[in-house]
Amino acid sequence: MMSKPFEKIVADPSTNTGEDEKFTSDDEMYMTQALELAKKAAILGEVPVGAIIVANGQIIGQGWNLRETNHCALEHAEIMAIKEASIKTNAWRLIGAKLYVTLEPCLMCAGAIYQSRVPHVIYGAADPKGGACGSLYKIHEDTRLNHRFLVQKGLLAEECAELLKRFFRQRRLSSASKDSNDSDPAE
């Protein structure tokens, strides 16, 4: 079965840092949907990250972190969205697609984005400890690779970051509460 061809997006990251790009109302709508997916992950006790892949105005893939649930380090939101998009389109090359993700992709996910030829990524919150699309690495701009992709950052960044902060704050409080309940009352 042949997949529907995507409208080609030409990405030249050397001319664009992604910092001063304008976001459209569609971009905001898709990132808001990615945030809703991130909330699904949080309900499951997963780090709240959500991702959506759009092509030709249609959502073709979506995912949220399932690493703890499925006991698999590969189950990041971006990987899940790429997998679903590839299955739906019957194509591993997602040329013409745009990926929206609430947290800057890690090295593994940036590699998957590169391998699947997604030409455009928009992320919300930066990840200074593990980000591979600007914070620690710039995989999307590496001229040693045969494919590069455009990255825009900071769409709904405050909302994305707040969701992550709230999740980790809750986790710390829960852990501290558990530790105090586990203590020996005789001490």
**Active-site residues: which are they?**
78
Q: How many angstroms separate the CA atoms of 166 and 138, rounded?
A: 28
Q: Characterize the bridge pairing of strands 150-153 and 120-125.
A: parallel
Coil, helix or strand for 167? helix
In sequence order, the 6+-apart residues with CB closer than 8 A to the CB of 178 are none
R_g (Cα) of the chain, nearest Å: 18
Q: Characterize the bridge pairing of strands 50-55 and 98-103.
A: antiparallel
Q: Tell me the residue length of the chain.
A: 187
Q: How many angstroms separate the CA atoms of 23 and 171, rounded?
A: 33
In sequence order, the 6+-apart residues with CB closer than 8 A to the CB of 114 are 139, 140, 145, 147, 149
Q: How many angstroms separate the CA atoms of 171 and 119, rounded?
A: 35
Structure tokens at 11: 């990405």
